[in-house]
Structure 1
Amino acid sequence: MRYLGSVYRPPSEAYSLIVQVTYGCSHNTCAFCSMYKEKHFSIRPLEEVLEDFRLARQTYRRVDKVFLADGDALVRRAEELYIILDTIRELFPECQRVTSYASPASIRIRTAEELRTLRQKGLTMVYMGLESGCDAVLKRMRKGHLSGEIVEMGRKVRENGIALSVTAITGLGGPEELERHAIETAEAFNAMNPEYIGMLTLMVEPETPLYDWVRDGSFHLLTQQQVLRETRLLVERLDSPGSVFRMNHASNYLVLKGTLNEDKAAMLDTIDAAEHNLGLLRPEEWRGL
């Protein structure tokens, strides 16, 4: 396959065919993120995209999953997305799932009819970053959207038949916003009731504004004990029946897995055990992105 610059995908897309339909991220100003900094956002020429799929058909005997990269494939013109999805269905009749990242901005420009058509043509799920349900945190981290809009766009996706996977980041509010970040993030998840909830734990990457804030002392990272406290506050307040909850990314100190709300008590027990024995946590040097 032909790729421009670094390519990123969700952990669950590790075995997917990845084709860039856009380059970079349409927002790309989040203070904590170092992704896509080496390229400007642009729409990849449609014929190049289709050619990559044709090359993939010649290369791979079977393709069960496809991930449309880069950071915001949903921003393409609807008619071009239809052509891409039709091509996938024609070339890979065995394909069971097509997914992409989506931003609140790209969801907003899609009409309900367009979203339903995208689902009919094979777009099964989109990944959207909430990061925090706390507006003060979102503003500081330059997310570009407030919690209410992110929740509204998440619900719009689900109402039109496309599954939704939403992520947030423990520690993103620092010690000052620990409680609000946990409680209001849980409230945002509850309001969306997505099929999947994913939690990461904040890691500071060089060449980001957050990195500079940590170095100059204007932002403080959570201790492991504070991470556990924030996680417990969030899980306590989750009320999102049927959502698959995953806190098993390499950035996390503690692995939590379950289906809400039935597994919430067991996850809280796991957090309590870790609070009494920090040796159960992933060592700092083992964490990664």
Structure 2
Amino acid sequence: MKFTGTIWRPPYEASSLLLEVTAGCTHHKCKFCTLYNDLPFKFRMSPMEDIECDLQEAQLWRTDPIAKLTARLQGIPEQKGFQRAFLTGANPFVLKAKRLLAIAELVRKYVPTVQTIGCFARVTDITLKSDSDLTALAQGGYDSLTIGIETGDDEALRFMNKGYAAADIVEQCTRLDRAGIRYNFFYLVSISGAGRGEIGAKATAAVCNQLHPQLIGANMLTIYPDSELYQEIQQGNWQEESEVEKYREIRTLIESLDIPTQFAALGVTNAFQLHGFLPEDRGALITAIKKIIDTVGEEKLRDYRRNLRHL
């Protein structure tokens, strides 16, 4: 399998077949992001022949006799076949619908056990597609996209150069709802800056409450020296929340959501893992956050952030 640079995927895609169809990000302007700084280019599409070769290799994984023997010797249960594929890259959904459908055809040809296909998507990727495109993609197996909306706070979206506004999130994800394509959201805790975290959380809840995300995943902003945001901080243009503020922000988000959804804080940016279903687990999640604030405190939480060398 061919992969370029560091490969990023959501925690819940751990069992999916990872397939590189793009590398890098078409936007690559978010002030906080350093995820694709190791690439010598901004964005690249994989040639279709490379994608087909990777799928031919993946086709053998479940039937390779050496792999089966190794699994038996290690006591690992025999795999039944991939049920899902996850296309890698910052935003493969930017590809034209025709190309995405051709990729889906190749996946079905070589790994017929795959039932659905997911990937990261930007809000602006949806804008580029017609309603008929989205319907065709849904019929082609595209489902459960992961969209880094980051926040519903327009001031923060503008400052961080996200390239869309809160109203665009609502408009474009409503189109996904109509097409039958489900989606998950990534929320970036602290993106609104010191003193504005709870404002951002309430604005984000107001956006989410108009939509149907399957899951809202919280990731805590971790700032590295090679980011544009770090330079903004050095120049006095922006200030990061304290670690305790970040947990208060998460609490406010959970309190403000009034839709049925999953809430998860499972990535490495979170010092403590949180997961539950809303509304039924709201109380337990809030209790867990209160315990973190009261018993762990700022100093230990900040130590965790300082020692997080890489995402």
TM-score (norm 2): 0.86
- The answer to whether structure 1 residue 120 and structure 2 residue 122 are counterparts is no
Q: Give the distance between the partners of 1:58 and 1:206, measured in 2 at CA.
A: 42
Distance 2:197 2:2 in 1: 42
Q: Which of 267, 273, 297 is 1:255 aligned to?
A: 273
Quick one: which of 270, 276, 281 aligns to 2:294?
Answer: 276
Amino acid at match of 2:197: L
Matched letter for residue 208 of structure 2: F
Contact 2:11 2:266 in 1 (8 A): no
The 10-residue stretch of structure 1 (127-136 or 273-282) with the greater mean CA deviation from structure 2 = 273-282
1:15 maps to 15
Q: In structure 2, what residue type is equivalent to 1:18?
A: L
User: Do residues 107 (structure 1) and 109 (structure 2) align?
Assistant: no
Contact residue 66 and residue 98 of structure 1 kept, 8 A: yes
Structure 2 Cα separation of the partners of residues 159 and 30 of structure 1:
29
- Superposition map of 1:1-289 within 5 A: 1-37=1-37, 38=39, 39-61=41-63, 62-241=81-260, 243-278=261-296, 284=304, 287=308, 289=311
Using the alignment, how far apart are the partners of 2:137 and 2:87 within structure 1?
13
- Residue 48 (structure 1) shift: 2.0
Q: Please report how far the alpha carbon of residue 274 of structure 1 lies from its aligned counterpart in structure 2 after TM superposition.
A: 2.3
User: Could you say if the C-alpha distance between residues 286 and 189 of structure 1 is closer, same or farther in structure 2, counting changes exceeding 3 Å?
Assistant: farther
Structure 1 position 286, deviation (Å): 6.3
Q: CA 1:5 to 1:271, structure 2 compared with 1: closer, same or farther past 3 Å?
A: closer
Please tell me whether the aligned partners of residues 152 and 203 of structure 2 are also in contact (alpha carbons under 8 angstroms). Answer: yes
Q: Are 1:89 and 1:122, in contact at CA under 8 Å, matched by a contact in 2?
A: no
After TM superposition, give the deviation of residue 42 of structure 1 in Å.
2.6
Q: Tell me if the contact between 1:201 and 1:253 (Cα under 8 Å) persists in the aligned partners.
A: no
Q: Which runs of 5+ in 2 are unaligned?
A: 64-80
Of structures 1 and 2, the larger Rg is shown by 2
Q: Which moved more, 1:197-206 or 1:64-73?
A: 64-73
For residues 42-100 of structure 1, give each alpha carbon's deviation from its aligned partner in whole angstroms, at most 9, with x where no partner exists: 32222222222122213444323211121121122212211211221222122243211
Give the match's secondary structure for 1:124. Answer: coil
Aligned residue type for 2:273: V
The one-character-per-residue Cα deviations of 1:105-133 (angstroms, maximum 9, x if unpaired) are 21112122222221222112211011111
Question: C-alpha offsets along residues 199-257 of structure 1, whole Å, 9 cap, x if unaligned?
Answer: 0111012311112223344322222221122122211111112x111012211133321
Give distance in 1, aligned partners of 2:247 and 2:122: 29
**Cα displacement (A) at 1:279:** 6.0
* Contact 1:85-1:121 within 8 A present in 2 as well: yes
Query: How far apart are the structure 2 equivalents of 1:226 and 1:279?
Result: 10
Q: Count how many residue pairs are aligned between Structure 1 and Structure 2.
A: 288
- In 2, the alpha carbon distance for the partners of 1:84 and 1:130 equals 25
